[in-house]
Structures are given as C-alpha cells and as structure tokens.
Structure 1
Amino acid sequence: MSTANSPILTDSETLKEVVNCLTENIPIKTQGKCEQQTIFEILIRAATQKDSIENTSKVLTNVPTSKNVYYHLGKYSDLNSLESDLNAALQSRIPDVILKGKHKIAIDFNLIPYYGEPSPSESPYIYRSQAKSGTCSFYAYATLYVIKKNQRVTLAIKAVRQQDTLVAVITYLLALIKPNTFKIERLLLDREFFCVPVIRWLQALDIPFEMPAIIRGKHGGTRQLIRGRRSYKTTYTLNSDKYGSVTFQVWIVCTYKKGKRRAHGREFFVYAVYNIKLSLYSIHDDYRLRFGIESSYRMKNQCRIKTTIKNPTIRFLFIALAFLIINIWISLLWHHLSALIKSSKKAFSHLFTLKQMLEFLRQTIDRNYGVAHEVYLT
C-alpha cells in the first residue's frame, strides 16, 4: 500500500476502470454525437444515484437526450447475446486470489415485482412465484456467486424466461464456469430449487449440494420431520405427480431461540443434502454463508438504475450493470487496497466502501460533463 501522501486510487481511475470494462465487453453501435463512452457514463451516473436515464440526461449538460440513449440501447435486441457479453464482463474483473482452490457456489433468484397485465411480448419474461409485495408476477434473474474470503462475487447472471425450468437455469449458469480453473466444492441453493427434477439431476451429476427443504403438510410431508428435541439425520422421499419421486438425505437441525428477537423455544431447520463433508451441527452455520447473498442484493439496490421501461433486454442490462459495478469494486479492493497479513491477503474494505466508489463515479462524471444550474421556460 502507498503512503498517505500518494493516492492509491483516484476517482478518475475508478471511472476509467468501469468504462473500460463495459467498452471491452459490451459493444453498442453509435452514430453522430452520441458516443459509446458517453452512453456508458450516463448509465453509470444513473446507477450511482439510483436514478432514471431521463433525469440523468437532464441533470448533466452536453449529453444526449434520454430518447437518444434508449434508441442506441435498443439496438441490443438479442437478449442471449447481451447475457453472454455481460457474463464475460462479470468474469473479467474477478481477482485471482478469489478463484484459487475449490469453491462454495451459491445460486439464487432475484425477483423484481411486476404489476399489471403483461403484453404478448412481455409474457415470456414474466416469472410466476410465491406472492410477494402484492403480486405473484416478477421479472426474475438467476445469479451464480462464489463465496470466498468473506466476499461474494457474482460469476454469472441469467434472465429467467417463463418457459425455463429450474434444471435449465442451473445448467446454463454452471456451464459458464471454466472447469479447468474453477472447481466446485458444493452448491448452496435456496428453497426455490427444492423440487424433484433439480435434486434428481444434481444427484445424477454427483454434484454436492445443500438447500433448505420447503415445509409442507399439516402432519405428513416434510412437516413430519420436525419432531423431538435433538438434531438428527434421515432419508426422505419427495413425490411429484408430474416428475415422479426422488429419495435423498435430510438433516434436521434443532436450535433454541434463547430470546433472539424476543422469541423462545425450539426452532427447526431442515436441509436436503447430498455428498457434503460436514457435521450435522455445522451445516446450519455453513448455509448461513449464503445469507450474505441477501446483502449482495441490498448492495445491488444501491446502484440499480430506476426504470419503468418494459423492454426485457434493457431491463436486464440495468440489473447486470449493478452487479458489474460491485464486482469492479471488489476487484479494486484486491488490487489497490489489500496487503499480505500472516501469509494471507486481506482487503481493507473500510478504506473504500461501495458508497464511496459510487460517489467517486458520480463526481467524476459531473466534473467531466457539468451539471445544470438553471432551468428555462421554452
């Protein structure tokens, strides 16, 4: 690390890193005065403020209108091509220190509520799930993370279509991992994946996994596993009228609330597991690592562009940009604000928080373009 008198990272360097990553991986054909870098910097500025493209174009001076920006973004009409480019961008900024060894991989769903009746062009991209925020319809995005050194880095993201099966989603995401350089220790899945096809498929591929079981039934089903006062292991057969049945191990962990959140008594956690090398008493703490993904989602919401646009390709770009900014922040931490401590490399995230990075990006763009100080009636 540098001395106090010489900066290790500047706001201009931070912006350059983000723009370079976008330019290298996401080609946008432009014309006239609307240059690719300008479009990227408008997107970045909107993301740092959780703002819309419309308002950002008004705040900055000497930039294209929002209509012009959306026109050029609309040229990216192929969602599959955009997914491929954005996933390449996400993986291009992953520090080597995080990729060494075997990894715990987490796959999760990010559901953004959708209200109203979808048009025929929207319907294929509307995902149905359990009611949340007053709706059962969502824009759904599946994300794959690596959990290493208390960092959760996004390796891939996929826009989930209505016809996509859960097995297809996992297959797509795992296929993006380079098998020669990336080895899976086990998968940590959320309860959305607790179903016969997924469990059967993972067992067939011999992929170790752990996921919470969905508690069903009044007395039978998985609810019958919640009994007694001690943790234990057993097997369970999950049945489906459509997909048949699958038998797997379940680990039931019994804990005591001890006044946590003013609650007392026993609490049970039921996990579907396969071929994992953990003790019964450590699986609950191990799975809690995945809960950090929720904090990743909260971080993502700090830099997500605000929009009401219905175009699924542009919406996906805005979501993926938030995850990309977080990946670049982690990359900057490891390359500029880390040091070897007792033969292990440590990043000093308190010296450069995500909030500070977003401020670096905003102030550099404002300085480069200028901001509006007057309003005229025309």
Structure 2
Amino acid sequence: MRRGYSTITPAVVHALTRRTLERTLGWTDYKRSVTGAQLLDLVLRVASTTRTLFAVATRYFQFSHEAARQAVRANLGSGDQLTARLVNALHDVARFTRRDRRRRWTCAIDVHYVPFYGDRATPGIIGGPKKAGTSFFHAYATAVLIHKHRRYTVGLLAVHKGTKPHQQVHTLLDHVAARGLTVGGVVLDAGFDRGETLLLLQERNLSYAVPMRKKGSGTNRRNACDAQPSGTIATMEWVTEKTRRSVSTRVLVWRRPGESHARVYAFSGWGDAGAVSEATRAWLGRRRYRERFGIETSYRQKNQARGWTTSTSPEYRLLLEGVALVLRQVWVCLTLRIARARNRNPKAWVHELPLVEMLDWLTQRIRSRYPRTRCITLTHKILTAAPMH
C-alpha cells in the first residue's frame, strides 16, 4: 500500500517523484560509481533547474559527468521501451480510480516542436515551418485529458520523419486504452485534418472536432464550405490522395466576432443523435475544441521542468521531455488534492503551490541530500586577510 500524506512538503514532492520513476523506469546501479537512486536524483535535478547534465553532475555530485552520462545511457533502453516506461510513469502519478476507468474522457492530441539548431543529419529530427530561427525540430505528440484540475497527460510519442498524423493518433489512443482508460471524444489541431485521421476516428466510433484547412488555392470539394455563411452545417466529402479512400464528415462553418473569415470545423458525435439536435452537437464539438487551448499553457508549464541539452541522442531528449511531463503531472496531482481539501471551485486557481515553487522545493531537497564542500585549495598562500579595525 502506498503511503499517504496530510502535509505537502519538499520531502513529499521528492519522494513522490523519485518513487514513481523507480517503479516505472527500472533503473539500476551503474558499476560502483553511480547508484540508481543517485541517477534518478541527478535527472530530477537536471529537470527542476533546467540545466545540463554536465553542469549538475560536476557541481553537485561526487561522480564525474562522464560517469553520469554513461550511467544514463546504460539505463535508457530503446526508444519504444523508454516511451512505454514514461507513459507508465504518467499514469502511475495520476492514479486513476475505478470510477475514472468507467468514464468516457475527452482527449486533446497535439504535437509540440522543440527547435533544433545542429546538424541536419542528426537522428530524430523532422522538418517543419520556420519557427524560432530554424526549420528543424524534435517533435513530440501528446494526449491530454480535458478536465478542470485534471489536465493529465496520458500519452506520449516521439514523432519521427515519415510518421503520418493518423499513425500518431492511432498510437496515442492505443497508449490510453492499454492502460485502462476509455476515450469518448478527441479534439485535434488543424495539422490532423487528413482524411485518414477522420476515417480512423470514425472507425473507432469516437466523437471528434477538427478545424479543416483549405487545400490548394482553387475551388474544390474541400474548399467549397469556406464560402458558406457562418452557422452553416454541411457535409464535406473528398478522396484521400494516396489510398484513394472516400471521406465524408459533417462540418460547421463559424466566424468569430472580429475575425475576417470563417473557420470550418469537422465534427461527429458529441451527444446522442436521437436526443440532441445536430446544431447542438456541432456547438458542443466547437466548445470542446476551444477547451483544448489550455494545452498551450500545459506546454509552457512543462518547459519549466525540461532539462537543457545539446545531445544528439533521441532517447535522452525523450527522457528529458518525459520527466518534465511527469513533474508537471505531479504538480497537477498535488494541486488537485489542495483544491479538494479547500473545497475550491473547479475553475479556481490554486495559488498555494505554483509549479515553479514545487520545482524549487524539489531542487532544495535534492541539494540537501548531496552536501557540497565549498572550497578551492591553492598551492601557495597568495591571499591575505585585511586586518580588522
């Protein structure tokens, strides 16, 4: 049985995060120089301070940075193994109940791009629209639950060159299903507006909401709905380019006040078709899509706990991404406990424990476990103390 806590302290934060990683990563001692516990503390210190492994190992641990690097490398495993372990860690922190597993959740799936400025031949990078001074990135797809105070990350995937959007969605949904959660609806960014993606969601009988982009500059079946007045509900049909499969979906044309053009949202589900009108289901789908905007905030929060690196190892970069998500997951879990203990409104901000404060707690706790001798020995007595008056 897991130990319960009535007071949240730096020791509790450290114990929760390290024990979670101990159970899920399965890291072991590296020779005689680095123990498994030290290795996990090292990685957590890298994450909580957003520094490099070299900087943390040389300043706060007795073993060398090269020993630390080799120890991490020896425990990483393959990309697939590491992905499964990190997803297990995310679910281990969330501790979903039986009631949670009977519920039909709405998931937001998105891709987060980490700018890369090194050699273009580096494994694991993909191209994309220019952003932050580069057109090359390490990319990670995530699945996040849309729920007040429970915006848990439940799926993680490193996106490699050639991985199609519908393959990313397929893998993330499998991650969630394999760990006992039921997904009832999915909201996606415009990057997932491919026919293969919609066909996958329809085959799984999932509700969905996806903004549809224009295809080409001319008039075609994909672009015809853009000319319709706001509020129009229509059917969009086309054929996929490579597989030549027929795609058909209902869409809502909507223009927000102040915008110069309307947006087209593909939708399906969001209520019993026999009991809820199609207009209501279209409105519900659009509202669900707007709720996914909180993912951007989640990404910014996650970046506060992502260690810095110039490594070309896709597995090590995935580790830093996953540990950052785990730390954010711990913070979400703790703030939920605080909100429930204080009988807070689900929309209320929990000001007692900001994420940056929790990370500082973790940093100080790990620092206290590895005291550092602060002195520099010189070969000659070249320093003299000024006389005190």
| 1:329-368 paired onto structure 2 within 5 Å | 329-335=331-337, 338-339=340-341, 341=343, 349-368=350-369
- Over residues 120-159 of structure 1, what are the superposed CA-to-partner deviations in whole Å (9 max), with x where a residue is unaligned? xx44x22233332333322111111111124311012111
When structure 1 is superposed on structure 2, of 323-332 and 175-184 the one drifting more is: 175-184
Normalised to the residue count of structure 2, the TM-score between the two structures is 0.84
* Equivalent in the alignment of 1:21: 20
Q: Is the 8 A contact 1:338 1:348 kept in 2?
A: no
**Map of 1:53-68 to 2, 5 A cutoff?**
53-60=53-60, 62-68=61-67
Q: 1:264-303 to 2 correspondence within 5 Å?
A: 266-277=260-271, 278-303=280-305
Cα distance in 2 for partners of 1:372, 1:109 equals 44
Matched with 2:199 is: 200
Does the residue aligned with 2:205 lie in a helix, a strand or coil? Answer: coil
CA distance in 2, matches of 1:349, 1:169: 33
Using the aligned pairs only, state the percent identity: 22
Shift in CA distance, 84/281, structure 1 to aligned 2, threshold 3 Å: closer
Give CA deviations for 1:347-372 in whole Å, capped at 9, x if unaligned: 87211111111011011112221346
Gaps of 5+ in 1: 1-5, 258-264
Provide the residue aligned with 1:261 in structure 2.
none
Aligned equivalent of 2:106: 104
Q: Would the alpha carbon gap of residues 240 and 128 (structure 1) be closer, same or farther in structure 2, given more than 3 Å must change?
A: farther
More deviation, 18-27/201-210: 201-210
**Following superposition of structure 1 onto structure 2, how do residues 174-193 of structure 1 map, counting pairs within 5 Å?**
174-178=173-177, 181-193=180-192
**Pair 1:153–1:237, CA change in 2 (3 A):** same
SS of the residue corresponding to residue 352 of structure 1 reads coil
Counterpart-to-counterpart distance in 2, 1:139 and 1:192: 16
**CA contact under 8 A between 1:57 and 1:65: conserved in structure 2?**
yes
Residue among 327, 330, 340 paired with 1:328 = 330
Shift of 1:161: 2.1
Amino acid of the structure 2 residue aligned with 1:232: T
Question: Aligned residue for 1:232?
Answer: 232
Whether the 8 Å CA contact 1:237–1:246 is kept in 2: the answer is yes
Tell me the equivalent position of 1:3.
none
- Partners of 1:142 and 1:104 lie apart in 2 by 16
Q: Which amino acid aligns with 1:296?
A: S
Structure 1 103/340 Cα, relative in aligned 2: closer, same or farther at 3 Å? farther
Task: Give the Å deviation of 1:170.
Answer: 1.7
Q: TM-score, normalised by structure 1?
A: 0.86
CA distance in 1, matches of 2:235, 2:42: 54
Check conservation: 1:38, 1:63, Cα contact below 8 A.
Answer: no
- The CA distance in 1 between the partners of 2:9 and 2:262, in whole Å, is 49
Give the equivalent residue in structure 2 for 1:167. Answer: 166
Which secondary structure state, in structure 2, belongs to the residue aligned with residue 107 of structure 1? Answer: strand
Q: For residue 387 of structure 2, what is the aligned residue in structure 1?
A: none
Look up the equivalent residue of 1:275 and give its one-letter code: G
Counterpart secondary structure, 2:341: strand
Amino acid at match of 1:36: G
Helix, strand or coil at the partner of 2:11: helix
- Relative to structure 1, is the Cα distance of residues 376 and 246 closer, same or farther in structure 2, using a 3 angstrom cutoff? farther
Deviation at 1:81, TM superposition (A): 1.0
Amino acid in the other structure paired with 1:46: V
What is the aligned partner in structure 2 of residue 69 from structure 1? 68
Compared CA separation, residues 306 and 95, structure 1 to 2 (3 A): same
Aligned to 2:248: 247
Tell me which amino acid in the other structure corresponds to 1:34: V
Structure number with higher strand proportion? 1
Name the CA distance, whole Å, in 2 between partners of 1:272 and 1:226.
12
Cα separation, 2, equivalents of 1:171 and 1:365 = 39
AA of the residue aligned to 1:188: V
Instruction: In structure 1, give the amino acid aligned to 2:131.
Output: K
Give the aligned residue type for 2:188. Answer: L
Structure (1 or 2) with the larger CA radius of gyration: 2
In 2 relative to 1, CA 353–71 (structure 1 residues): closer, same or farther, beyond 3 Å?
A: same
Q: Indicate if the aligned counterparts of 2:208 and 2:285 stay in contact, CA closer than 8 A.
A: no
Q: Is the 8 A contact 2:249 2:267 kept in 1?
A: yes
* 1:110 and 1:140 in contact (8 A); partners too: yes
Q: What is the deviation of 1:175?
A: 1.4
Give ranges in structure 2 of 5+ residues lacking alignment.
272-279, 380-389
Partner of 1:256: helix, strand, or coil?
coil
Compared with structure 1, are the counterparts of its residues 275 and 317 closer, same or farther at alpha carbon in structure 2 (3 Å cutoff)?
same
Shift in alpha-carbon separation, 1:219–1:118, aligned structure 2, 3 A: closer
Give the match's secondary structure for 1:246. strand
- Taking a change above 3 Å as real, the CA distance of residues 40 and 156 of structure 1, as seen in their structure-2 partners, is same
Distance 1:150 1:287 in 2: 18
Counterpart amino acid of 2:115? P
> 1:180 & 1:80 partners in 2: Cα distance?
16
Structure 1 position 274, deviation (Å): 1.9
Deviating more after overlay: 332-341 vs 192-201: 332-341
Contact 1:141 1:157 (C-alpha < 8 Å) held by counterparts: yes
Q: Match for 2:90: what amino acid?
A: L
For 1:126 and 1:239, locate their aligned partners in 2 and report how far apart those are by CA, in whole Å. 30
Corresponding letter in the other structure for 2:364: Q
Instruction: Give me the whole-angstrom Cα distance separating, in 2, the residues matched to 1:337 and 1:345.
Output: 8
Shift of 1:195: 0.8
Structure 1 equivalent of residue 310 of structure 2: 308
User: Given that residues 28 and 72 in structure 1 are in contact (C-alpha distance below 8 angstroms), is that contact kept between their aligned partners in structure 2?
Assistant: no
Cα distance change on mapping 1:180 and 1:109 into 2, 3 Å: closer
